[in-house]
Every structure is written in C-alpha cells, then in structure tokens.
Amino acid sequence: MPFLCGTVKAQHKLKDQDCLACHADATLTKDVNGKPVSLFVDEGKLKHSIHGSLLACVDCHTDVKSLVHEAPPKKITCAQCHADAQTAYAHSTHALTAKSGKTAAASCEDCHAGPHEILAVDDTKSPVNHTNIPITCGRCHGQKFLMESNGQSAQPFLSYQESVHGRAIEKGSLKAAVCTDCHGAHEIIPANDSKSPIYKFNVPGTCGKCHAEVQQKFVASIHGQGIARGNGLAPVCTDCHGIHSILSHKNPNSPVAEKNVSRDTCAPCHEGVRLSNEFGLPANRVSSYLDSYHGLATQGGSIVAANCSSCHGVHDILPSNDPHSSVNRANLDATCGKCHKGVTQKFTLTRVHTQDGIQRHDIASIAVRWVQLIYVPLIILVIGLMALHNLIIWRRKLADRRAAHRVNVVRMSRNQRWQHLILLTSFIILVITGFALKYPDSWFAQMLGLSESLRSIVHRVAGVVLIAVGIYHVFYIAAARGGRKLLRDLAPMPRDAFDAVHTMLYYIGMRKDKPKFARFNYAEKAEYWALVWGTGLMGVTGVMLWAKVSVGNLFARWWIDVATAVHFYEAILATLAILVWHFYQVFFDPDVYPMNSAWWDGKMPIDHYRHEHELDTETTAHPIEDNPTDEPPQNPGCPRGHD
C-alpha cells in the first residue's frame, strides 16, 4: 500500500508548504492503519535553521517526487553538499566505530542537532558553537558506562571540566580551547595516528594555535629541537602540563606549580639513567638538586627558593653550552641575580647540583672530598668514644645505685625475664624491618643495608618468634603457679579506674594523699592487656599477609587490604606506646633513674617497691636478696611496665 500524504500527484517540484501540510501535524503523519510513516517536523525550528532559508525539503529528500510516497523516503546523506566534511568524518574514530557495529558512535545529527534544526556555527544556540562544544561532546564522553562499553573512559571529559580551559569556557570565554580545537571537528583520529593533531610530534603545533609565542620559544629550546629530530623521549606540552587536566601554574595541584615542578615534572626524565644512557646526559639531576640548599628549602615549604625552571627557564630551556641559555656561564650573573641581588662571577662559580655522581677534579670538588675523608672517620671516632665514655659511667652509676640498696625484692623471675627479653628483641627487629619496607628511603632502612628478600626473611623470622613467645606465655599463665598468680594480679578491677583518677588528681596538686597500689597498678595492667591484644592482632594479620594468596582465595580480596591497614597502624600504635609509655616507666621516671633493672636481674630495691606498691607490702611477704631458685613462691611478678 502506498504511503499517503495527499491524494493528488504533484506535477511540479514540491515546495516546503506541500511537505509541511502533513509533516507539520503529528496527527496526520500516519498511514491508513494508524501507524507512523514519517517524522514530525517543527516548522518554527526548521524556519530558523541554517537550511530553512537555503534549501527546500526535496533538496535533501531527492527521492521524493510526489505527495504520494510509493516507498518510504531514503535516509538522507549530508555528503551531497558537505563532501569534504563527509570524507573527513569517514576516516574518523566515530565513523570506524559506527562501522564496526559494536557500539553507538556520533553521527552528523548527533552533533549538529539535526536534521531539521541545524543552526549556524556562530549561533550561540548551536550545539557546535565554540562555547557549547564541551557540552555536546560530553553527552557521550561524559557517560561512564557508554565510554567503558567502547573500551574508553569518561575521565578525560571530567578532567577537562576541572581544567583551566574548562573553567574558562564555563565562565564564558570565547578563546579557551575546547575539544575540537585539539582533536579536530570531523576527522577525529587516535593519538597514535601520525596525522592526528594530538600525535606527540604534532602537539606543539596544536597548542601553538592559541599559544603562538610559547610555541616559538619551545621550538627553539632543547626539547623542541629534540622533537624536531624525531626524538620521542623529548617532552612536549602535554608531558609537563597534562592532557585534559591542565591547571594554572598557580594551582598547587598543577604539575608545573612551583612546589611540584622539580619532583613531579622534571624528575621522571632527568632523575633516571635513561637519558644518561641514550644521550650522555648526567643522571640524578633532581636528587642532587634536592640535596642542595635550594632543594632543601623547597621541601621545607619555601615559596621563594629556586626550582628547576627558576634557573633553566620554562619553555625556552637550552643546554649550558648555548650562549642563549640562562645557565650559560656568561649569563649566570643575571640568572642568579634575579634572587641574589648584587652577585658577582665568583658567586656564580658555585655548582647547584653538588652531588651529581660525577668525579670532578676542580679545586672545590677536591677540597670537598678531602673534608669528607677527614670528617667521616672523625665523626665515627669521636661519637664512638663519647658513647663508650658515657656507657662506662652509666654502667658504674647503675652498679653503685644497686649496691646502695642491700635489700631487694625479687620482682621478676628468670622465666619471665627470658620471655620479656625474647619479646623485646623480636619486637625491635619487627619494628625496624617492618618500617624499612614502608619507608625504604629512611635512614634506618639504609642503615640495615639488607636486600628486600633478606629483610623479608628477617622480618618473618622475628614474627614467628613473637608469636611463639606469645603462645608460650599463654601456657605459662595457665600451667605454672607463678603464671597463674601473675594472671590473677593483672586482672582488671573496678578500683583501677578510681586509682587512675586519684593519681592524676594527686600529681596535679588537687589531692594530698598519694594513691596506694597492689602488686600492679592500673598503668601496668593496661599495658599488659594492650600487649596481649596487640600481639594477637599483629600475629593474625601478619600471617594473613604472609599467606596472602591462600587467604585471598579463601576470603574476599579486600580482607588482605584490611589486614595490611590494620597491621601498619597497629605497628605504629605499638611502637609509639613503647616509646612514650613503657620507656618512661623503665628509663625516664625519676624514681628509677638511670634504669629499672628488674628486666635484667629481676630485682627491685625494697624501699622503692614499698613506695610504689604499698598495698602489696602490707599484705604479703617478699623474698629478698638473691634467691637460689629465682622462682619466688609469692611474688613471681614482672618489672614495672612489664610487657
């Protein structure tokens, strides 16, 4: 059955009014069965479109010859008028994606809002007007799932919105770059295509369309010369500024911000050995800068200390042997003088990259090496003798203090002292080797001088020892008489909370009576049970990380991430607790200076014990002096702050 849009066959070229007689009324665009047969056309929008005043309906729908359509009109093509644009589009990513049929891709109508509502590019309402381009492209490229279905990401569009270009467009700028300025309009092709405007070697020219002055400086620079020679290792604009996420150099998050330019922008190329191996350029340029006064000041938060660009320039970087270079010997007075007013040539002879790994033979380098050769052994010798001197005096003072107290209480048995010593040793090893993994550049990591594999073995052996002594302690407090009494005496009591408050009130002068404690005070009990909890938690998470494959296969993968976080933060908590809490009890408390040696020989002066544990001395008898068995039947305790 023919598609009826009229009953009289036209004998002349159809006019728009003939077509709109049906297509301007949505109720008439149906066949005799009531099914839609054509598109509704908004006559007002068609009239104001770019085509409305230039073309008739049949100029595009060339197969429509009469009001009675014998067959549905064919889909129109823009190529008959826009051949160049159609040819360019045919080579684009959009056309190739659409041809593959894997996913939807933008067509002419998708971008130009057609076919009957196409507006001129200079019309502010046109979707392809300069200010509307980001919104038009974002309709597809801002959709996460649509882009992922095509193996791409929506992040570039989101990053552009936050960039200096996107922000400028949002504020109404008519000059800021939009998608088509960099990618092209119709012939959008991938960055790995040498014809693409975003192909690495074409990027300077693309950015130069807006930043012509900067482009001229860059082309003349050492980086621009490298790009001109086809050197893919030379950086272009996007390597330093970013691609879609370009930010102002005043933005602290920008890679070219003053505090970031050295470490984040220049370092990827100039710190490694790749350039050194390929082009003979010195390596370690950034680390040697960071070791200098300028670098140290920058890392300390200075906003005026010189960075890489302060001396070498920004876009016009040239090698030092180029007479136009800012770091050429003849120009250093002016370069350094920007910050150091009144500098002379003698001042500029000092090198910035002082530790660049190159063995130099000038007088300054030779003098510095001799200073190092003299001072390093001198420091080791002098500080070593100082430490030995103090150790001898400290040991004698401790012995004299112990000798002055003829009567001692056996505070800690031999068994408990061995448990404590093994626990102490394994804990220290775990702390050093564990944090060496987290902070490989730290001084203690470098001091170890261990390879990663050896460090890992030492850490795990210490972990096994810690778990073993923990398990032994459980059996000890369950089976040994001294262990059971230890557990009873360490059991938390409601009185402990009142004792804590009483102690604080006494030491800040709000109570006159000193609190009295039994064998263990509230602080020692809290430390003991914190140790029990921490040892168990570190043991469990440590085993999980050791057997991460098995654990990851048995449970969800996020269990490993949680175990890693718990292991790290519990290690920090335990380490600081030992330094701040336990070491005070053993070393820094004025009552025990220079050290509470109960952890070593198990003894505590009876007068000190009575002062600290008055309630216990009132109710129990304590073995004194040296006990042959070292296993006191009534007081098999631990030293102050025992772990």
Q: What totals of helices (H) and strands (E) does the chain contain, helices first?
A: 35, 2
What's the confidence (pLDDT) of residue 471?
96
| Beta carbons of 538 and 567 less than 8 angstroms apart | yes
Query: Residue 58 CA to chain centroid, in angstroms?
Result: 60
What's the confidence (pLDDT) of residue 470?
95
563 burial via Cβ count (<10 Å: 0-12, 13-18, 19+): buried
Q: Residue 130: pLDDT band by 50, 70, 90 thresholds?
A: very high
Q: Give tens-digit pLDDT for 340-394.
A: 888 887 777 766 676 555 566 677 677 877 888 898 899 899 999 998 998 898 8
Q: Residue 618: pLDDT band by 50, 70, 90 thresholds?
A: low
In this model, does residue 519 exceed pLDDT 50?
Answer: yes
Q: Residue 427: pLDDT band by 50, 70, 90 thresholds?
A: very high
Percentage of the chain surpassing pLDDT 90? 40
Handedness of CA 292, 293, 296, 297 (dihedral sign): negative
Percentage of the chain surpassing pLDDT 70? 89
Q: Which segment of 10-14, 256-260, 549-553, 557-561 scores lowest on mean pLDDT?
A: 10-14
In this model, does residue 4 exceed pLDDT 70?
Answer: no
- Tell me the range of 104-118, 296-310, 527-541 where mean pLDDT is highest: 527-541
Closest CA relative to residue 480, chosen from 631, 642, 616? 631
Cis ω for the linkage preceding 115 (within 30 of 0): yes
Q: Give tens-digit pLDDT for 34-61.
A: 555 556 777 777 778 888 777 888 888 8
Q: Residue 415: pLDDT band by 50, 70, 90 thresholds?
A: very high
What's the confidence (pLDDT) of residue 8?
40
What's the confidence (pLDDT) of residue 633?
39
Question: Distance (Å, rounded) from C-alpha 208 to C-alpha 217?
Answer: 10
What's the confidence (pLDDT) of residue 632?
43
Question: Distance (Å, rounded) from C-alpha 143 to C-alpha 148?
Answer: 9
32: Cβ–Cβ under 8 A, 6 or more apart, which residues? 1, 4
What's the confidence (pLDDT) of residue 628?
38
Question: Distance (Å, rounded) from C-alpha 521 to C-alpha 511?
Answer: 18
**573 versus 305: which is more confidently predicted?**
573
Q: Give tens-digit pLDDT for 94-113.
A: 988 888 876 778 888 889 87
Q: Give tens-digit pLDDT for 6-25.
A: 444 444 677 878 787 777 76
CA distances from 84 to 76, 79, 89, 122, 428 (A): 17, 8, 9, 20, 74
Closest CA relative to residue 343, chosen from 388, 296, 311? 311
Q: Give tens-digit pLDDT for 143-200.
A: 888 888 888 899 999 999 999 999 999 999 989 999 999 999 999 999 999 999 999 9
Q: Are strands 603-605 and 408-410 parallel, antiparallel or unpaired?
A: antiparallel
Domain spans in the chain, listed from the N-terminal domain onward: 1-76, 406-619
Query: Residue 480 CA to chain centroid, in angstroms?
Result: 51
Amino acid at 309: S
Closest CA relative to residue 537, chosen from 483, 463, 434? 463
Question: Distance (Å, rounded) from C-alpha 13 to C-alpha 578?
Answer: 96
State the DSSP H helix or E strand holding residue 279, giving kind and residue range, or none if neither.
helix 274-279
| Beta carbons of 623 and 482 less than 8 angstroms apart | no
Closest CA relative to residue 355, chosen from 368, 346, 337? 368
Strand partners, 3: 69
What's the confidence (pLDDT) of residue 636?
37
| pTM passes above 0.85 | no
What's the confidence (pLDDT) of residue 27?
60
What's the confidence (pLDDT) of residue 619?
57
CA distances from 29 to 20, 39, 66, 114, 403 (A): 10, 7, 16, 19, 114
Question: Distance (Å, rounded) from C-alpha 8 to C-alpha 12?
Answer: 12
What's the confidence (pLDDT) of residue 594?
80
Average pLDDT, the chain: 84
Listing DSSP states for 448-467 in one string gives H---HHHHHHHHHHHHHHHH
What's the confidence (pLDDT) of residue 7?
40
SS (H, E, C) 4-47: CCCCCCCCCCCCHHHHHHHHCCCCCCECCCCCECCCCCCHHHHH
- SS3 percent helix, strand, coil of the chain, rounded to 5, is 55, 0, 40
CATH topology of domain 406-619: Fumarate Reductase Cytochrome B subunit (1.20.950)
Counting other chains too, the contacts that 447-456 makes at CB distance below 8 Å and 24 or more residues apart are none
Question: Distance (Å, rounded) from C-alpha 49 to C-alpha 2?
Answer: 31
Mean pLDDT, residues 122-142 taken together: 91
What's the confidence (pLDDT) of residue 74?
81
Q: Residue 290: pLDDT band by 50, 70, 90 thresholds?
A: confident
What's the confidence (pLDDT) of residue 6?
41
499: Cβ–Cβ under 8 A, 6 or more apart, which residues? 515, 517, 521, 522
- Count of beta carbons in the 10 Å neighbourhood of residue 422: 15
Amino acid at 164: V
- Tell me the range of 71-75, 85-89, 351-355 where mean pLDDT is highest: 85-89
In this model, does residue 587 exceed pLDDT 50?
Answer: yes
**Residues 106, 112, 116, 120, Cα dihedral to 10°:** -170
Q: Which two tokens stand for residue 358?
A: 């190159």
